[in-house]
């Protein structure tokens, strides 16, 4: 009962579009299951940078909202809400099975982590942007969850890859930095080859308790 009230509170909290920067954020312990509706940060394993976006367009390629790797841990623009895809029966609080197709919604701007055939600004790989809104999403926002090892459902201590469905590019980052953005942010892009630099981990976040084990 206490747990479900907590889940409800978090649910309302997320749906009120609360400002997480002024709110204590629970640091989940190791092995916590990640469920739909959770707001998480994704850490690039090798560089420790967080997947980040803000309301600044790319100056090249699609001109859509930019996505970068951010060196700091505390920035509220690094929260992403884990969503199911449009035709999925999955509900908020459901566990997420390996191989699921998911979407990541940038919490501050409500846009979706997106990719397509435009060239990324620095390395000329596939551009990764933020696009759409609460009512506008398409398969360009679909990512397949690949869990390293033999985990059946997504847990916080697992190394994961996200593979973009339309382009088959893995979500990737590397040391290539933007010189005109303050704070040493680095490029995030898609690459089709399976490389060590495609590995991410769920880091800080508000983890909704899993209410339904995956079927
Ligand atoms: C999405 O649709 C709802 C219901 O029609 C509307 O209230 C809301 O303003 C829309 N949001 C955006 C971002 O367009």
- Model confidence over 48-72: pLDDT tens digits? 999 999 999 999 999 999 999 999 9
Quote the pTM value. 0.85
CATH code at position 34: 2.80.10.50
- In the reported structure, the alpha carbon of residue 134 is separated from the centroid of ligand 1 by a whole-number distance in angstroms of 7
State pLDDT tens for residues 129-182: 999 999 999 999 999 999 999 899 999 989 999 999 999 999 999 999 998 776
Is 48 within a domain?
Answer: yes
Atom of ligand 1 nearest to the CA of 133: 13
Residue of the CA atom closest to atom 7 of ligand 1: 135
Contacts for 92 with CB less than 8 Å, ≥ 6 apart: 11, 35, 36, 37, 208
Q: Would the CB of 134 count as within 6 Å of ligand 1? A: yes
Tell me the percentage of the chain whose pLDDT exceeds 70: 84
Q: Does residue 21 lie within any of the structural domains?
A: yes
Counting from 1 in the atom list of ligand 1, the atom nearest the Cα of 134 is: 13
The answer to whether position 96 is within a domain reads yes
State how many domains the chain has: 1
Tell whether 111 is covered by a domain: yes
Going from the Cα of 136 to the center of ligand 1, the distance in angstroms, rounded, reads: 9
Residue 212 belongs to a domain: no
| Domain ranges, residue 102 | 2-207
Place of tokens 């700091």: 72
| Ligand 1, atom 6, residue with closest C-alpha | 135
Residues 37-67: b if buried by 16+ CB within 10 A, e if exposed: bbbbbbbbbeeebbbbbbeeebeebbebbbb
- CA 133 to ligand 1 center in whole angstroms: 9
Position 30 scores a pLDDT of 53
Residue 94 falls inside a structural domain? yes
pLDDT at position 82: 98
Q: Which numbered atom of ligand 1 lies nearest the CA of 135?
A: 1
Assess whether the C-beta atom of 135 lies below 6 angstroms from ligand 1. Answer: yes
For the chain, strand residue ranges (E) read 39-44, 50-57, 65-70, 80-84, 101-106, 112-119, 126-131, 143-147, 160-164, 170-177, 186-191, 200-206
Asked if residue 133 has its Cβ within 6 Å of ligand 1, the reply is yes
| Other beta carbons within 10 Å of 11 | 14
In a domain? residue 213: no
Establish if 88 belongs to a structural domain: yes
């Amino acid at each position: 009962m206490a747990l479900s009230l907590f889940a409800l509170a978090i649910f309302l909290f997320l749906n009120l579009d609360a400002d997480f920067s002024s709110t204590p954020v629970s640091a989940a312990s190791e092995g916590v299951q990640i469920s739909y509706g959770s707001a998480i940060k994704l850490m690039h394993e090798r560089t420790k940078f967080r997947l980040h976006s803000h309301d600044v367009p790319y100056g090249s390629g699609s001109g859509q909202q930019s996505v970068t790797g951010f060196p700091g841990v505390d920035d509220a623009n690094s929260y992403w809400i884990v969503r199911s895809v449009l035709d999925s029966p999955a509900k908020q609080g459901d566990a997420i099975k390996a191989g699921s197709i998911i979407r990541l919604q940038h919490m501050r701007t409500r846009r979706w982590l997106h990719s397509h055939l435009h060239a990324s600004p620095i390395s000329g790989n596939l551009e990764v942007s933020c696009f759409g809104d609460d009512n506008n999403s398409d398969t360009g926002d679909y990512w397949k969850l690949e869990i390293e090892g033999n985990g059946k459902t997504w847990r916080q201590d697992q190394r994961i890859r996200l593979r973009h469905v339309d382009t088959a590019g893995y979500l990737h980052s590397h040391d290539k930095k933007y010189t005109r953005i303050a704070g040493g942010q680095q490029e995030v892009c898609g690459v089709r080859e399976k490389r060590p630099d495609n590995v991410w981990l769920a880091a800080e976040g508000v983890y909704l308790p899993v209410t339904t084990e995956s079927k």
